[in-house]
Amino acid sequence: MTETENILTDTFGREHTYLRISLTERCNLRCTYCMPAGGIPLSPKSHIMTYEEIFTIAKEFVSHGVTKIRLTGGEPLVRKDVGLILEKLASLNVELAITTNGVIVDTFIEQFKRIGLQKINVSLDSLDNEKNTTITRRDYFTKVYNNIQLLVKEGFEVKVNCVLIKGFNENEIVDFIELTKTQPLQIRFIEFMPFDGNKWNLDKLVSLEEVLKEVCSHYDVKQFTRLKDAPNDTAKNYKIKDYKGSFAVISSVTNPFCDSCNRIRLTANGQLKNCLFSSSESDLLTPLREGKSIAPVIQKAILAKKKVRNGMETLEQFKDPDSHNNRSMIAIGG
């Protein structure tokens, strides 16, 4: 490896400038699409990255071209030293963002402002209290909904992540979009994806096509427009005329965006995943603790990245249960 080589460029010419770091495998919710009903075996505490190790690994990635870091979990804000981690990462020359379930996000608003963290994604899968309790297995709907309003009021850039599951919440698509009428929110409808223990099958999926069909059945076609997507955006973005906010669809299953992917994931126990659907992981924590350079491990992982969804190039391959040998989402990081 020469000094001029970009170790974050894969064999398809994709440059990976976006690092998602999971801070913990723990969560204060139990969402059905993220966590098996019986929970997951947690990594021993000694296997979880310390805040110093997170910072050291993050610095390594930044030195090779990462410009954005998003903190995920589990629920990242339940980690006891998350405040310290936020302060350390904010000292790097990157855009810092976070994905949270919103339950306790209100207690971090002042710190977010101080360190310049502006972009917050909040998960909310139903606007009905009872249905929300069903999918999260906890009763926090009112708290989360109120915290979303608070974040908007405080001037944060807020995206609401909604995983659509057929027979459960696809009848709320318009209700979610109507939230953007008076608020500068972006609602992001996410296709249901397969992970260990979430009982995925294709029949439960609400596709990009079905979302747009529902939109067209409610709004005049002249009322909504296709927005220009940002470079490397995973979402296809739309807006209703004269509404303050917008909505988007993340179609990882029916219309993947792999050709422009710039994302890599670091799990809470220090494993690098070059693709969300990858069944293999690369251990960064062990060589780091042994005092070795992690750059060769990073480069090898990036070069091993496949063109499309860990090799599942067709929908037929993707819906084959034998194709999925992956952790639960909570153990990967959202």
Q: Residue 17 contacts by C-beta under 8 Å, 6 or more apart in sequence?
A: 8, 65, 66, 67, 68, 232, 262
Which has the higher per-residue pLDDT, 244 or 29?
Answer: 244
- CA 112, CA 177: separation in Å to the nearest integer? 27
What was the pLDDT predicted at 2?
44
Question: Any bridge partners for residue 282, and if so which?
Answer: 272
Question: Any bridge partners for residue 68, and if so which?
Answer: 18, 95
Tokens for 38, please give them. 């019986």
Which range is least confidently modeled, 110-114, 125-129, 131-135, 255-259? Answer: 255-259
Specify the pTM: 0.92
- The fold adopted by the segment(s) 18-332 is TIM Barrel (3.20.20)
Task: Please check the confidence at residue 319 and state whether its pLDDT lies above 90.
Answer: no
pLDDT-derived band at 4 (thresholds 50, 70, 90) equals: very low
The average confidence (pLDDT) of the chain is 90
pLDDT-derived band at 192 (thresholds 50, 70, 90) equals: confident
Helix or strand or coil: residue 239?
A: strand
- Give the CA angle between residues 229, 233, 238 to the nearest 5°: 40
What is the rounded average pLDDT of the residues 104-112?
98
